[in-house]
Structure 1
Amino acid sequence: PDPVAVSRVVSAGGRAILRCGLTGFDETRIEELLPRYLDLYAQRGNASTHLYPGIDDMLRDLEARGIGWGIVTNKVGWLATPMIGQLGLEGRCGALVAGDTLATRKPDPAPVVLACNLLDADPARTLFVGDDLRDIEAGRAAGTRTIAAAWGYLNGGDPRDWGADAIADDVAALRSCLHPDRDVR
């Protein structure tokens, strides 16, 4: 399959990836193949997964300032938890709300509200960053301020159309959104 086409659907999950790579397969066959795909994904681990350049420094800056942060993902916990460890974020991430933590997932606001509760954070004073329309919808519905990360997977969408409170074209712009009171280059 075309890696660019697959990258456009990665944030939509395993089913979307299989649909993209296995054109012509009906939904029944996709459902049959999904467990095997997820097993292979888990076996391979997150070998090619890494933080975007500058993200770790930004997170460490937040931590140094006593600002907690968390992750809300639609990825199931048995895949998300090892990834957090592999990325060196275990023990640093104050809240991990995975796609199977609750009965609902983003764009429902409940996972974002749970993350805020786990962080003891007031949603009205929370910035929720995402690279998918579902992230912005969930954050807005939860009462957070939202930032669209315009460099992520984006699921083929244009973050300027999502109604986020701010758009960060890169990590430096995201840092500026998080620290509007100072120059962060």
Structure 2
Amino acid sequence: MSLETSIECVLFDLDGTLIDTAPDFIKVVNQLLEEHDKPPIHTELIYQTVSDGARALVKLAFDITDEHEEFPQLNNRLLEMYYEQLKRTEAFFYPSMSELLNNLDASEIAWGIVTNKPEKYSKLLLSKLGVMGKCKSLVCPDHVTNRKPHPEPILLACQQLGRDIDRTVYIGDHIRDIQAAKNADVIAIAAAYGYLSANTNVEEWGADFILRS
């Protein structure tokens, strides 16, 4: 595939690709730990886990599995705290992504977001950052039967935007994003600046292109 093809649609993952949402998670994870008289955990560990969602953060913070008897309560409490934190969010657009959105709007190229983040949190975040009205397609787990890496979310976004898959790109910072793009037969771009662990080799994901910043 080549980007020389006229691109008609650009789809983004949310956390760690379009927006750096880690500051909010860092705050609420450590607040939850404080509620349970536990010390904070290293910021870098949270950065490396954000893309896997709240459940993974609870397991990381409390060193438990999701079968632990306290897991449901801890997970629900973290989500409550996160929703309240989003009302005064510290998340921000990656500079390159903010510029890209402006260029897409100026060129009248359709763009949307395909995320594993539930709609409740995604909409509040995007509203607080002032782009909910500009996002013409927001596909969350609430809207599909299958999450990424299944192609369904990306295909739904293309359908909502009325764009062909062969003129669509998907940008994400996790291997499942690239797998989803490949499964949907759209151009796959890996965001190598996202929430990656030190031993992650983006080159092995099989993306068509790699975005370094």
Which secondary structure state, in structure 2, belongs to the residue aligned with residue 41 of structure 1?
helix
1:159 to 2:199 alignment: no
Distance in 1 between the 2:50 and 2:169 partners?
Answer: 24
- What is the deviation of 1:79? 0.5
- What is the deviation of 1:119? 1.0
- 1:155/1:104 CA distance change after superposition, 3 Å: farther
Structure 2 gap ranges (5+): 1-40
Aligned residue pairs total 170
- What is the deviation of 1:27? 2.6
- Residue 130 (structure 1) aligned to one of 149, 160, 172: 172
Give the match for residue 140 of structure 2.
98
- 1:38/1:64 CA distance change after superposition, 3 Å: same
- 1:25/1:120 CA distance change after superposition, 3 Å: closer
Give the match for residue 43 of structure 1.
84
1:145 to 2:157 alignment: no
Query: More deviation in 51-60 or 66-75?
Result: 51-60
TM-score (normalizing by structure 1): 0.87
Q: Check whether the contact 2:64–2:71 (CA below 8 A) recurs between aligned residues.
A: no
Q: Check whether the contact 1:15–1:31 (CA below 8 A) recurs between aligned residues.
A: no
For the aligned residue pairs, the C-alpha RMSD in angstroms reads 1.5
- Residue 58 (structure 2) aligned to one of 13, 18, 25: 18
Query: More deviation in 141-150 or 154-163?
Result: 154-163
Identity of aligned residues (%): 36
Which secondary structure state, in structure 2, belongs to the residue aligned with residue 127 of structure 1?
strand
Kindly provide the amino acid, as one letter, of the partner of residue 31 in structure 1. P
- What is the deviation of 1:24? 4.2
TM-score (normalizing by structure 2): 0.76
Distance in 1 between the 2:187 and 2:65 partners?
Answer: 40
Q: Check whether the contact 2:55–2:66 (CA below 8 A) recurs between aligned residues.
A: no
Q: Highest relative contact order (Cα 8 Å, sep 6+), 1 or 2? A: 2
Distance in 2 between the 1:21 and 1:76 partners?
Answer: 21
Kindly provide the amino acid, as one letter, of the partner of residue 120 in structure 2. W
Kindly provide the amino acid, as one letter, of the partner of residue 164 in structure 2. D
How big is each residue's C-alpha offset from its partner over 1:116-165, in whole Å with a ceiling of 9 and x where there is no partner?
11111111110110000111000110110000010011366322110000
Where in structure 1 do 4 or more consecutive aligned residues deviate above 6 Å? none
Kindly provide the amino acid, as one letter, of the partner of residue 163 in structure 1. G
Alignment of 1:51-70 (within 5 A): 51-70=93-112
Structure 1 gap ranges (5+): 171-185
Kindly provide the amino acid, as one letter, of the partner of residue 40 in structure 1. M
